[in-house]
Amino acid sequence: MDTPPTIDGAFARWLVARAGQALLGLRAELGFADPGGLKSAGDKVSHDLIRTELAKWRPGDAVLSEEDEGSRLAWAAEVNPEGVSRRTADRVWIVDPLDGTREFAEEGRSDWAVHVALWSRGAPSPHGLIAGAVGLPGQQRVLATDYPPAYPPMALEAAAAGSRMIRLAASRSRPPVFLTDLADDVGAHLVPMGSAGAKIAAVVTGEVDAYIHAGGQYEWDSAAPVAVATATGLHASRIDGSALKYNEADPRLPDLLVCRRDLAPRLLAALRRHSG
């Protein structure tokens, strides 16, 4: 539809779905012979589409997108093209137009995502996120805060019965160096996946039980997935157990834990033993 929903969560769902369709079309058009070119084109197509729609339908809100020039700098007075400073704004959209460019540029891979989250100054939660959506175009699905999946995930019953090991989503390319030892400690096995959005989505749906990251990320890598995960009822925190916070002056947010609530004490204790 041309006119998006007015409710923020539904709007985020609509937006990532539109960007996802554009990215699938780009993949079909360009093919996979030039991965670098496909990555660059994907970032630009999705960023431009999301920025255009936000400017049209949410002109009074600020935006922090990975593809904005200077997005990684700690700019306390950052001003977006519409003239709204994200540090003084009441509402800020935090966007990763294409999470997992490596996977996007590999034929047959579906573990890449589109992230759109909304931070609000008046939010009741410490992380400040009031809406969000994770699009998984290669899997033909969107997870969003307007209709979050029910908690607990289906995996919980099997785990409680002791029928299998804990499954930890891990980066394909840069898992934390301590993660293998931690997995041995808690009786878990690692499940390699691509983008952060795909990994947290897998926790939300119960395909894995937890995702631990400590290799360096930015706010846009986790904002939308964390919004959905916490709306679902999952645990989400820094690896030391402290609260995740968004729309900070420095957008670096280098580590996180997302997991089933019943696993959080056990995994946080293991992190204290292994991540120092």
Per the model's pLDDT, the better-predicted residue between 62 and 78 turns out to be 62
Q: How confident is the model at residue 3, as a pLDDT?
A: 85
Is 192 in contact with 172 (CB distance < 8 Å)?
Answer: yes
215-228 pLDDT, tens digit per residue, is 889 999 999 999 99
87-131 pLDDT, tens digit per residue, is 889 999 999 999 999 999 999 999 999 999 999 999 999 999 999
Nearest to 232 by CA among 144, 151, 176: 151
**Residue pointed to by tokens 């947290």:** 200
Q: How confident is the model at residue 162, as a pLDDT?
A: 53
The pTM (predicted TM-score) of the whole model is 0.92
Per the model's pLDDT, the better-predicted residue between 171 and 94 turns out to be 94
Residues 195-218 as b/e (b if ≥16 CB within 10 A, e otherwise) read: bbbbbbbbbbbbbbbbbbbbeebb
